[in-house]
């Protein structure tokens, strides 16, 4: 009986310690959420669906639309925009754009990502949709596409409005989508601590990142800060370590110092809870492939990127099914060019699609090559 008592006491203490450890995370935040980027695995949450004011974290959704426009060639980074009166009149964080001033999309993007410039964000929104109101419609449409149920936008910047709200869970999903569409091109900008715009002018403007963690915390390369009197101090942080990327959100923190400390505690906690399991290496051969009308006929399918899966620290990976589908059959095909996709289905029914290519170039057979091949087939 005494042994049973001590066993129950130990289990109670262990359980209590685990709960207390969890409660210590983001203790000053009104709301918090932590996920692993590639899987969306939830590693910590606190009031994660409570509707709060996102302040300038709003710009993550705006940037999704900008990056999609760049990816679809609807917008060019070297395109020069003429600043409207509305953009120039924006308050809050700004780079003091002037009416009819001309600035490249690239510099405007830097101003948004690094300095959280409201005027630059409005200029980009007007270019994409013609007006801020139409751009906001697109923002809310994108929210529906992402199945965000606690988010509503009324502006592109996050300036306060009672009807403009989101939650930590939705902000993390928006960040996840932004990284998916923006990729390294976006993270290269959001991880920049300082830069200049108007460099060719008589008064170049110095941008300093509102996210000081990109300079002072290892692995942090984004993503977006926010502050208004109503929202208080907010931040969405992404950090990468050994093939694992975390996304952490805290909302309504009392000040930026507390905010930064608590969000980094979440990030470190997340890295301690998961592990990366490598499956295939970039350029590793998957299987041979044959092209009857190609020169040479035979090549090998290879992985165009490293492939792995992020797991809970105690889990093991099992692959249920692998399905290859060809997306390009026309020759020629160059080394490293995507010709197909490999869908990997894991034991928990999660899926990963990987781009596949060739390790040797395959050219299309010419008339003489075809004639010689037929001739030898007849002889043999």
Q: What is the rounded CA–CA span in Å between residue 267 and residue 265?
A: 5
So where are the chain's domains? 25-273, 281-379
- pLDDT-derived band at 12 (thresholds 50, 70, 90) equals very low
pLDDT tens digits for range 14-40: 433 443 445 589 999 999 999 999 989
| 201 noted as active-site residue | no
| 38 noted as active-site residue | no
DSSP string across 106-161: HHHHHHHHHH--HHHHHHHHHHHHSSHHHHHHHHHHHHHHTT-SS-B-SSSS----
As a whole number, mean pLDDT of residues 67-88 equals 97
| 104 noted as active-site residue | no
Residues with Cβ < 8 Å from 104, sequence gap 6 or more?
77, 78, 79, 80, 81
Question: Which residue in the list 115, 116, 129, 269 is annotated as catalytic?
Answer: 116
- CA-closest candidate to residue 108, choices 125, 89, 129, 132: 125
- φ, ψ of residue 86 to 5 degrees: the values are -65, -45
Question: Which residue in the list 30, 46, 59, 275 is annotated as catalytic?
Answer: 59
- pTM greater than the 0.95 cutoff: no
Q: What percent of the chain has pLDDT over 70?
A: 90
CATH number for the domain running over 281-379: 2.60.410
Per CATH, 25-273 and 281-379 having the same topology is answered no
Question: Which residue in the list 31, 48, 56, 84 is annotated as catalytic?
Answer: 56
CATH number for the domain running over 25-273: 3.40.710.10
Residues with Cβ < 8 Å from 291, sequence gap 6 or more?
297, 298, 299, 331, 362
Longest dimension (CA), the chain: 91
Mean pLDDT value across the chain = 91
Residues with Cβ < 8 Å from 88, sequence gap 6 or more?
97, 98, 99, 101, 119
- pLDDT-derived band at 91 (thresholds 50, 70, 90) equals confident
pLDDT over 50 (residue 5): no
As a whole number, mean pLDDT of residues 249-263 equals 98
Report the C-alpha dihedral over residues 166, 169, 171, 175, rounded to 10 degrees: -160
Q: What is the rounded CA–CA span in Å between residue 364 and residue 367?
A: 10
Which pLDDT score, from 0 to 100, does residue 347 have?
A: 80
């Amino acid at each position: 009986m005494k042994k049973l008592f001590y066993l129950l006491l130990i289990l109670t203490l262990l359980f209590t310690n685990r709960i207390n450890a969890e409660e210590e995370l983001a203790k000053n935040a009104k709301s918090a959420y932590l996920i692993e980027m590639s899987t969306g695995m939830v590693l910590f949450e606190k009031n994660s669906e409570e509707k709060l004011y996102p302040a300038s974290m709003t710009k993550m959704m705006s940037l999704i639309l900008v990056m999609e426009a760049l990816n679809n060639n609807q917008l060019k980074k070297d395109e020069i925009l003429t600043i409207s009166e509305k953009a120039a009149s924006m308050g809050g964080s700004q780079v003091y754009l002037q009416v009819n001033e001309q600035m490249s999309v690239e510099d405007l993007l830097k101003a948004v990502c690094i300095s959280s410039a409201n005027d630059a964000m409005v200029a980009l929104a007007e270019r994409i949709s013609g007006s801020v109101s139409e751009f906001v419609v697109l923002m809310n449409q994108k929210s529906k596409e992402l199945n965000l149920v606690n988010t509503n936008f009324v502006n592109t910047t996050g300036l306060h409005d009672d009807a403009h709200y989101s939650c930590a869970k939705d902000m993390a999903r928006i960040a996840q989508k932004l990284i998916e569409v923006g990729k390294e091109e976006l993270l290269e900008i959001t991880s920049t601590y300082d830069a200049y715009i108007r460099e060719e002018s008589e008064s170049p403007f110095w941008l300093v990142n509102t996210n000081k963690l990109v300079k002072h915390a290892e692995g942090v390369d984004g993503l977006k800060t926010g502050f208004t009197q109503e929202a208080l101090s907010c931040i969405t942080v992404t950090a990468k370590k050994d093939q694992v990327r975390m996304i952490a959100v805290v909302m309504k923190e009392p000040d930026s110092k507390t905010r930064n400390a608590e969000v980094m505690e979440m990030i470190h906690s997340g890295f301690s809870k998961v592990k990366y399991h490598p499956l295939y290496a970039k350029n590793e051969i998957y299987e041979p492939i044959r092209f009857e009308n190609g020169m040479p006929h035979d090549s090998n399918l290879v992985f165009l990127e490293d492939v792995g899966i992020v797991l809970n620290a105690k889990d093991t990976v099992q692959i249920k099914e692998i399905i290859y589908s060809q997306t390009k059959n026309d020759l020629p095909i160059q080394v490293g060019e995507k010709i197909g996709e490999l869908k990997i289905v894991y034991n928990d029914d999660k899926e990963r699609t990987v781009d596949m290519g060739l390790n040797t170039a395959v050219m299309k057979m010419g008339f003489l090559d075809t004639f010689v091949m037929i001739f030898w087939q007849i002889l043999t």
